[in-house]
Amino acid sequence: MRRCIKLAKRGYGRVSPNPLVGAVIFDDDFNIISEGWHEKYGENHAERNAILKAKGDLKGKSIIVNLEPCSHYGKTPPCCDLIIEKGFKRVVAGMIDPNPKVAGEGIKRLKNAGIEVIVGILEDECRSLNKIFLKNQIKNEPYITIKTAATLDGKIAAKTGSSKWITDEVSRSEVQKLRNIYDAILTSSSTVIKDNPSLTCRLKKGRNPIRIILDTNLNTLKDSKVYNNDGTRVIVVVSDKISDKQIKNHAENAEFVKCPLKNGHIDIKKAVQILYEKGIKSILIESGGMLNKSFIEENLADDLIQFIAPKILGDKEAYNFVYGFNRNNISECNNLKIMSTKVLKNDIILYSVFEGK
Ligand code: AOF
Ligand code: ZN
């Protein structure tokens, strides 16, 4: 199963809105006969790729896959039909497919064909691998992660605004990996104005995420780097009070979405739903304390990825990665669950999930 998960990750950035899936075919002595993964949206599923690559008869062999084999006709025919046709004796699945078109039907069909089926191996890891797909299928909402790069005392910039370079180059290359995973990166107009980021993915085999800018009053300059015409989709979410004329005069290659306001700012709950309907299944927020706070306060963020540098800024006027809750008691805190940590060269990454998510 660990091998399946590893193979599945080769699909990062290429399979959305479909799940990440890897499959391994093996014999009774646990020799690997073939492996495959879901490589690209709309193309063969992992199981079919592993089967097509295998040489020789597959009768009596076993196949292990991190997601239940499908039973429906989508862009491709049902994988469980192919597994039955090839005469496999055993199927091991990491988890049930949450897609209502499958949801246990694949397992049932395999069992009815006399195949031994084992479900739930490394299930937590399998669920975490497909956390985006799971949330999309169950809630019809995008998966939202807040990413921050801060000092030990939680500062993302000094009071002068200087924020380069809190974390080191190893951390920054990890951020590139994240940008390759999410459908879109979301930031605020103030971050665009202050930092002029490009928000691209500079990995060799990576692809650029869609760029989303929340710009209530259309304050960003149209020659900001985020509007570079590099073939990447750019979406600007503006107030529904912004006129078509203002939009026409702004960046030519961007799409504009008008959104109602809440307390003078974009209603992010509405914005997120509009974006989901536009095909954005996962969002990485790379912004400042205000926007981070809004996503946390509206209970929209699923998890938090914190890059922490071993530095202390210590100025109470410096910018915090979350700003403006004004809470007086510890009992009013937002609680998270720490899932894992990764020690890099100088910095660490802390992964936590918001309580109730
Ligand atoms: C994948 N890759 O390896 C597996 C999937 O439209 P289709 O035919 O590509 O079907 C997509 C659904 O198939 C997907 O939502 C999931 O339920 C199931 N399994 N999908 O993209 C795979 N095994
Ligand atoms: Zn399938």
DSSP 206-271: --PPEEEEE-TT--S-TTSGGG--SS--EEEEEETTS-HHHHHTS-TTEEEEEE-EETTEE-HHHH
User: What is the number of the ligand 1 atom nearest to the C-alpha of 38?
Assistant: 3
pLDDT tier at 201, thresholds 50, 70, 90: very high
| Pocket probe mutation, ligand 1, options 45, 63, 64, max atoms within 8 Å of Cβ | 45
Name the fold adopted by 2-131: Cytidine Deaminase; domain 2 (3.40.140)
Q: Report the mean per-residue pLDDT for the chain.
A: 96
Pocket lining: 151 vs ligand 1, CB cutoff 6 Å: no
Is there an atom of ligand 1 within 6 Å of 91 CB?
A: no
Percent of the chain surpassing pLDDT 70: 100
User: Is pLDDT larger for residue 107 or for residue 161?
Assistant: 107
pLDDT digits (tens, 9 = 90+) for 233-243: 999 999 999 99
Residue 350 scores a pLDDT above 90: yes
How far away, in angstroms, is 159 Cα from ligand 1 center?
48
Q: What pLDDT is stored for residue 220 in this prediction?
A: 97
DSSP of 277-315? HTT--EEEE---HHHHHHHHHTT---EEEEEEES-----
Q: How far away, in angstroms, is 349 Cα from ligand 2 center?
A: 34
Cβ count near 318 (within 10 Å): 19
For 141-354, CATH gives: 3.40.430.10
- pLDDT at 162 exceeding the cut of 90: no
Atom of ligand 1 at shortest range from CA of 47: 3
Q: How many residues in the chain?
A: 357
Q: Which two tokens stand for residue 150?
A: 């801060």
Fold equal for 2-131 and 141-354: no
- Look at residue 94 in the predicted model and tell me its pLDDT: 98
76 lines ligand 1 (CB under 6 A): yes
Alpha-carbon span 197 to 18, nearest angstrom: 29
Which pLDDT value is given to residue 335? 95
Task: Give the pLDDT score at 325.
Answer: 82
Question: Across residues 3-28, what is the average pLDDT?
Answer: 97
To the query of whether residue 47 is one of the catalytic residues in this protein, the response is yes
Average pLDDT over residues 313-340: 92
- Number of the ligand 1 atom closest to the C-alpha atom of 15: 21
Instruction: Please report the sign of the dihedral spanned by the C-alpha atoms of residue 40, residue 45, residue 50, residue 52.
Output: negative
How far apart are the C-alpha atoms of 174 and 130, rounded to whole Å? 19
337, 355 contact by CB (below 8 A): yes
Q: Which of 46-60, 289-303, 324-338, 342-356 has the lowest mean pLDDT?
A: 324-338
Residue whose CA is closest, atom 13 of ligand 1?
70
Residue 97: nearest ligand to its CA? 1
pLDDT of residue 165 exceeding 90, the answer is no
- Cα distances from 349 to residues 9, 85, 161, 175, 310, in angstroms, run 19, 46, 23, 10, 11
164 pLDDT more than 90: no
pLDDT band of residue 14 (cuts 50, 70, 90) is very high
Residue to probe by mutation, ligand 1, list 65, 70, 133, most atoms within 8 Å of CB: 70
175 pLDDT higher than 90 = yes
Q: Is the dihedral of CA 147, 282, 128, 301 positive or negative?
A: positive
Cβ atoms 72, 88 nearer than 8 A: no
User: What per-residue confidence (pLDDT) applies to 326?
Assistant: 82
Q: Phi/psi at 147 (nearest 5 deg)?
A: -110, 130
Q: Looking at per-residue confidence, does 229 or 325 come out higher?
A: 229
pLDDT value of position 163: 79
Q: How far is CA 149 from the centre of its chain?
A: 18
Domain locations along the chain: 2-131, 141-354
What is the residue with the minimal CA distance to atom 4 of ligand 1? 45
Q: Atom 18 in ligand 1: which residue has the minimum CA distance?
A: 70
Please state the rounded mean pLDDT for residues 138-153: 97
21 alpha carbon – ligand 2 mean position (Å): 9
Taking residues 323-343, report their average pLDDT. Answer: 92
